[in-house]
Amino acid sequence: MINVDISLNDEGQVTDVIMTGHAGFAEYGQDIVCAGATAVLFGSVNAIMGLTSEKPDIDYDDDGGYFHVRTIDTSNEQAQLILQAMIVSLQTIEDEYSDYIKLNLK
């Protein structure tokens, strides 16, 4: 199962995102849940870095199964909008494939 831990401050702004695990929906290379979740997260991070002044601290495992984005400036409204869109997209995947992906908003 993919777990996505999203830390929010008191105003509901994203400060930290950790995605761990593997969906296990299908074999490697055929797993649409993994591909979808990964595309949403990577696309969101790439959009933040390409479209805003935000340069988040990123840590990941080369073999997959772990991606951590932290030190997100909560005053950067553009970055926060991209992150809120990311949450909506991941929730859409979770709604359809809840046996394979779990979002944890903290």
Question: Residue 89 sits in a domain of what CATH number?
Answer: 3.30.70.1490
Which contiguous run of DSSP H or E holds residue 14? strand 14-20
- Is residue 52 part of the annotated active site? The answer reads no
Q: Report how far residue 26's alpha carbon sits from residue 54's, in angstroms, rounded to the nearest whole number.
A: 35
Give the residue among 26, 92, 11 at the shortest CA–CA distance from 103: 92
- The number of domains in the chain is 1
Strands of the 101-105 sheet, one edge to the other: 57-60, 66-70, 14-20, 2-8, 101-105
- pLDDT of 36 reads 98
- pLDDT of 71 reads 75
For the entire predicted model, the pTM comes to 0.93
> pLDDT of the chain along its 106 residues, tens only?
999 999 999 999 999 999 999 999 999 889 999 999 999 999 999 999 999 999 999 999 988 899 999 977 889 999 999 999 999 999 999 999 999 999 999 9
Query: With contact defined as beta carbons under 8 Å apart, do 103 and 6 qualify?
Result: yes
- Is residue 34 part of the annotated active site? The answer reads yes
Residue 43 structural domain: 2-105
Q: Which candidate in 1, 16, 22, 76 is catalytic? A: 22
Q: Which candidate in 19, 34, 45, 101 is catalytic? A: 34
